[in-house]
Structure 1
Amino acid sequence: MVRSSCAFFFLLFVSLIPVCVEAAAIDSLKTFIQETRTVRANFSQTLYDKNARTLQESNGTMQFERPEKFRWTYDKPYEQLIVGDGTQVWFYDRDLNQVTIRQFNIAIGSSPAALLAGSSAIEDNFELIELGLQNQIEWLEAIPKSKESAFEFIQMGFSPEGALKIMALRDNFGQTTLLVFSDLDKNPNLPADLFKFIPPDNADVISE
C-alpha cells in the first residue's frame, strides 16, 4: 500500500505546474506555522531516483518544537535518530553505533526541518509558489533562496482543512524524497529532554 500510494503522489507532484489560483496552500502553511508550536506525527518515507525508481522505503515518527528543535526517529528498515536543539544536530545510526555532530545552521540550512520547525519568517529563506488543488490536496512549492541548499525545491500538500499531509523534496542529484504524514497531533506537550542527545559511551563520535 505504501509503495503504490507513494508512487501515485510522486507522479502527481512531478507533473504539477504553477497556475493562477487562490493562495490556499500558502495560507495553510502560514497558518500552520503561526498556530503550531509543537507537533508529533508518524510518517512513511520513500526515496526515488531521478528515473522514479524506488530506492528505499522507511517509516518513523516526527516531533518538533518551534523554534528550531526537532526529533526524527526512523524505526524501519534501520534505526536512526536525528535530534536538533537549535545549536547542534546529532545524527545517530544505531546499527553502526555512530554519532555525527554538526552545527545547526550548517546541517539544516534551507531544509524541511527549517521549513517546519523554523521561525515564522519563512519567506526570508524560501520563495513560495501556489500549485493548486489536486485530488483534494492543496499544493505549494518552496524554493530555497540560498544557492547552498541541498534541495532544488520542497513541495507540500495540505488538506482543505489546513492539515499537513505530504512533503516532496527534490535534491540536487535528482533524487526525490516523499514524506506522507499520519496521526498528526498539533501542540502536544513534549518533554524538554526530547530535544537533547547524549551519545552512548561506546559510540563512535564524529564532529564536523
Structure 2
Amino acid sequence: MNRTLNRTRVSFLIFFLFVLLQGTPIVTWAAAVDNLKTFIHETQTVRANFSQTLYDKNARAIQNSSGTLEFERPDKFRWIYQAPYEQSIIGDGKQVWFYDHDLNQVTIRQFNVAIGSSPAALLAGNTAIEENFELLNLGLQDDIEWMEAIPKNKDSAFEFIQLGFSLTGNLQFMALRDNFGQTTYLTFSDLIKNPSLPDGFFKFVPPEGTDVISE
C-alpha cells in the first residue's frame, strides 16, 4: 500500500475498527448498552493504551499499530499512534488536527465534519448518544458483554461500532467495519477513569516549519 495513502487511512482508524463477533454464536444478554450508558455517565476523562489490527475485506491482517489515548467529555480527545510510526489526532471540540510526525504535515478539519457520528463522538461526546446512534445488545461471549452502535446518519463513513465490556463494566474492546469492507480490531489496556489532565491538553500548535493544510 502506498505509504501516504496508508497514513491517511491510519488518520481515520478511529472510524474503522474490526467486528469480532461475525458469524459467532452468542448467549442472549442485556447489560452491554447499560454498561455504555454507565461508563459515559460516570466518566468525565479517560486515559488508556491501545493496540489494533487493520484487516482487508478478505480478513487478512495488513497493519498492526499501537499508542495511547485520552479524552475529556464533551468532544475533546488525543489519539496518539506511537508504532509503527508517529501520528497524532487531537480534537478540542471545534477543530481536529491530524499530524503526521514523519511527513511534518498537519491537516486541520472542523470538528463536526471530521468526527460526526464516529467512535470518538460515541465515547467523548455528550450523554445524548441515542440521538446519533441506535444501540443494540449483542450478547455475552467469553465473559465479554457486547453491544452495537449503528449511526443514524446514513452518510457515515462506517457501518457500525461494536464495544466489548468486561463483566465488571470496564471497556476492553472496540470494533467496526468501514464502507470499503476493511475492518480493524482495537484492544484497550491500563484504562484509567477520570484522571487529571493538564490545561490546554487538547490544543495543538504545529511545530515550526510544519506544512499546514486546512479543510
What TM-score comes out, normalization by structure 1 length? 0.92
Matched, 1:38 2:53: no
Q: Aligned AA for 2:50?
A: F
Partner of 1:153: 160
Select the residue among 13, 19, 34 that pairs with 2:21: 13
Q: Distance in 1 between matches of 2:25 and 2:91?
A: 34
Q: What is the CA-CA distance between 1:81 and the residue it aligns to?
A: 0.2
Partner of 1:96: 103
Q: Distance in 2 between matches of 1:57 and 1:22?
A: 31
Higher relative contact order at CA 8 Å, sep ≥6: structure 1 or structure 2? 2
The answer for unaligned runs of 5 or more in structure 2 is 1-17
Select the residue among 148, 169, 172 that pairs with 1:165: 172
What are the within-5 Å matches in structure 2 for residues 6-155 of structure 1? 12-16=20-24, 21-155=28-162
Q: Distance in 2 between matches of 1:126 and 1:40?
A: 24
Q: What is the CA-CA distance between 1:22 and the residue it aligns to?
A: 4.2
Matched, 1:181 2:188: yes
Task: After the TM superposition, list the runs of 4 or more consecutive aligned residues in structure 1 that deviate by more than 4 angstroms.
Answer: 16-19
Q: Aligned AA for 1:14?
A: Q
Q: Which one is further off, 21-30 or 31-40?
A: 21-30
Select the residue among 192, 199, 202 that pairs with 2:206: 199
Q: Distance in 1 between matches of 2:95 and 2:19?
A: 36
Q: What is the CA-CA distance between 1:23 and the residue it aligns to?
A: 2.3
Provide the secondary structure at the position in 2 that maps to 1:27. helix
Q: What is the CA-CA distance between 1:67 and the residue it aligns to?
A: 0.2
Q: Distance in 1 between matches of 2:124 and 2:19?
A: 27
What do the CA deviations read for 1:97-139 (whole angstroms, capped 9, x no partner)? 0000000000001111000000001110000111000000000
Provide the secondary structure at the position in 2 that maps to 1:30. helix
Provide the secondary structure at the position in 2 that maps to 1:202. coil
Q: Aligned AA for 1:111?
A: S
Check the 8 A contact 1:18/1:130 in 2, yes or no: no
Provide the secondary structure at the position in 2 that maps to 1:100. strand
Q: What is the CA-CA distance between 1:95 and the residue it aligns to?
A: 0.5
Provide the secondary structure at the position in 1 that maps to 2:89. strand
Q: Distance in 2 between matches of 1:174 and 1:84?
A: 27
Partner of 2:5: none
Check the 8 A contact 1:39/1:184 in 2, yes or no: yes
What TM-score comes out, normalization by structure 2 length? 0.89
Partner of 1:4: none
Going from structure 1 to structure 2, the CA distance change for 1:51 and 1:120 (only over 3 Å counts) comes to same
